[in-house]
Structure 1
Amino acid sequence: MTTEISRRNLMMATTAVAALAPFGAFAQGAYPSGQITFVCAFPAGSGADVLVRFFAEKFAKVSSQMVIVENKPGAAGNIAAMYTARAKPDGYTIYVHSGTSTAANMSLFKAPPVDVVKELQTTSFINKQAFMFVVAYDSPIKDMKALTESLKKKGNNASYATAATSGKVLGEIYKQKAGVDPVEISFKDAKDSLNDMLSGSIDYGVHDPVFALSQANEKRIRILATGSPIRLKSLPDIPTAKEQGYDIDQLGWWGSFVPKATPKPVVDKINALFNEILAQPDTVAFLAKFGGDVYVGTPEEGQALLAKTVEEWKTYVAMAKIPQN
């Protein structure tokens, strides 16, 4: 009797497992199966918004799902980061933003609302790009050596323009490496510094690649160097400050992020979908227009770089004497 009951129980258990197995396999492989939201930390129509919407459209195609963009501007990206961190950890809310800026906020704010390493999970890289040293197009300065010589002659009468935190940091590192001490003039936006550079009242600028490339194409400014440690594939003709004798390694990166508790299979699927997009020629060409190179890696590599960038920016903020918000 006991043997008969045991056999019956075993058969029932086996049948139950068999019945559940397809459901379990389906549940694991179901992502994505619904509308996905891409979170953008900048207003609609901004340069960053253009990039996020490009990837939203691409992600919709490779995932066969609807993808919408929600703009959550403000607090230097903290609002968007917090919105993402508090979202349901199911892979349907994805933050597409600068990993460098996301990490930097941990040091730029006295009380950051989100611990980005503990509350966000990097799902993919997107691109890497570098800020640039620029002068007026008709300036006699053609390279970083000539810039340094000019600044040493002018001493404290020399000045330079910045309009973003990464520019402030790169500018400060160059000053220390070159042994010069020009006065930093901070602008709300890079384009606001253009007239002062063209008139010669400001000697040079340290600006983002989107602004620098657009103005260089119009022959208003000349790009002397990037802050990247090696030449970017998208900009083979633009030298680095490092190859001109300045030991500078300031390469920014963009990525995608989800709430920390998002299941690993979902994280890995998002990574695979982004990597599929990044392999497409038109994506490579799109990023190149912004001075960026495609950047591919695993979620684990992304999370490690996020943590590393957080630590690096503690030093940068202190070195550049950037006041906390």
Structure 2
Amino acid sequence: MTPLQRRALLATLAAALAGGLPAAHAQGRYPDKPITFVVPFQAGSATDQLARALAQSITEQTKQTVVVENKAGASGMPAAQQVARAAPDGYTVFITTNTTHAANEHLFKKLSYDPVKDFAPVTGLGKGGQVLVVRPDAPYKTVADLVAAAKKTPGRLSFGSGSASSRVAGEMFKQLSGTDILHVPYKSNPGAITDLLGGQIDLMITDTATGLPQVRAGKLKPLGFSTQKRSPQLPDVPTLDEAGVKGYDMSYWFAAYVPAGTPAPVVNGLQELLVAAVKSAPAKTFFDTSGAEAWTTTPAELARFQASESQKWGRVIKAAGIEPE
């Protein structure tokens, strides 16, 4: 092989390698140091599970460490504020949900962050439904039994929630079923699950990633699914609408954001990394076992989606009779 042929071969290999990697990484600009994923919920939550799967994939793609930092509590506001104040360089990434970026502005009179002005959208990550669960020894076998018990003793039964999705799901259930059930707030859904298992609360409507393992282990009993379509993981469980709570439809979503002012090339490079990560084996395992489904977007598509979701959650929260705190 002549020197000229050798140089041509090396150039071809370099081009092929660059073509197999996100543009920003191939050019060696981003990332060139560890990345932090900030998650607004506890370890073990659905968002945490997805963040860790994505972190594993991005570490494999880039050979850079991705640290997952859980900052739970106050409906994700401290975590959102932390990311909003971080350096806009692409190394602090908010792996979050509709709680912080569509619901909180309608649940609270004042936020410590602006869900639009303080963040640059990167990509959607996934969507999912929720499941109404009770303990196996609960005296009700169906949603109708639960509704009847709640109406017989107003205010006696309680439901837990550790996210806006779970909170609004419970409030919507009360509103559409005509029941009075006490709300008990938690920092994250796994904490509510712990108290449900221990008998401190009576029920909850939780994301499938948190609830399914307990259902499969026989520790919790599913009564209804939150969307208009049954879950493939729970084909024998009726939707809440089918079970008699007419008009019930509630889902949730995951997405990634960075601080406002992050340069567009960095946002685009991160978006490519995350889209590839959502398609990776670790993320596929999460989606296959959690009942959620993969969903990715461009930054502009996520911005438009977030705006429409904010309006939707505002309508749902108002219809559920929830007063801003």
The two structures have a TM-score, normalised by structure 1, of: 0.76
Structure 2 match to 1:97: 96
Deviation at 1:59, TM superposition (A): 1.1
Deviation at 1:227, TM superposition (A): 1.3
Structure 2 match to 1:4: none
Q: Distance in 2 between matches of 1:171 and 1:310?
A: 19
1:35–1:68 CA contact under 8 A, matched in 2:
no
3-state SS of paired residue (1:118):
coil
- Greater helix proportion: 1
Aligned ranges 1:44-83 → 2 under 5 Å: 45-47=43-45, 48-83=47-82
Change (3 A) 1:260 1:186: same
Deviation at 1:223, TM superposition (A): 0.7
2:150–2:181 CA contact under 8 A, matched in 1:
no
1:155–1:181 CA contact under 8 A, matched in 2:
no
3-state SS of paired residue (1:131):
strand
Q: What are the Cα deviations for residues 43-76 of structure 1, in whole angstroms up to 9, with x where unaligned?
A: 7745354442332121122234332334444543
Cα RMSD after superposing both structures: 3.2
3-state SS of paired residue (2:296):
coil
Give the gaps of 5 or more residues in structure 1: 1-24
3-state SS of paired residue (2:86):
coil
Structure 2 match to 1:313: 313
Structure 1 match to 2:84: 85
| 1:56 counterpart letter in structure 2 | A
Aligned ranges 1:173-252 → 2 under 5 Å: 173-178=172-177, 180-186=178-184, 188=186, 189-190=191-192, 191-196=194-199, 202=202, 204-245=203-244, 246-252=246-252
1:37–1:70 CA contact under 8 A, matched in 2:
no
Q: What are the Cα deviations for residues 181-233 of structure 1, in whole angstroms up to 9, with x where unaligned?
A: 23224154322133438xxx94x433343442232223232111221232344
| 1:223 counterpart letter in structure 2 | P
1:134–1:224 CA contact under 8 A, matched in 2:
yes
Q: Distance in 2 between matches of 1:242 and 1:85?
A: 38
3-state SS of paired residue (2:82):
helix
Deviation at 1:236, TM superposition (A): 4.3
Structure 2 match to 1:303: 303
3-state SS of paired residue (1:255):
strand
| 2:199 counterpart letter in structure 1 | D
Deviation at 1:251, TM superposition (A): 0.6
Structure 2 match to 1:19: none
Greater C-alpha Rg:
1
Change (3 A) 1:26 1:235: closer
Change (3 A) 1:183 1:45: closer
Q: Distance in 1 between matches of 2:28 and 2:287?
A: 30
3-state SS of paired residue (1:125):
strand
Aligned ranges 1:69-148 → 2 under 5 Å: 69-139=68-138, 141-148=140-147
Say yes or no: does 1:263 pair with 2:266.
no
Say yes or no: does 1:284 pair with 2:284.
yes
The two structures have a TM-score, normalised by structure 2, of: 0.76
Q: Distance in 1 between matches of 2:82 and 2:255?
A: 16
Q: Which moved more, 1:296-305 or 1:63-72?
A: 63-72
1:38–1:52 CA contact under 8 A, matched in 2:
no
Partner of residue 154 from structure 2, selected from 137, 153, 156: 156
Q: Distance in 2 between matches of 1:68 and 1:27?
A: 18
Deviation at 1:36, TM superposition (A): 4.0
Deviation at 1:116, TM superposition (A): 0.9
3-state SS of paired residue (1:267):
helix
Percent sequence identity is 28
Q: What are the Cα deviations for residues 270-310 of structure 1, in whole angstroms up to 9, with x where unaligned?
A: 22222212223442222343332222232222222222233
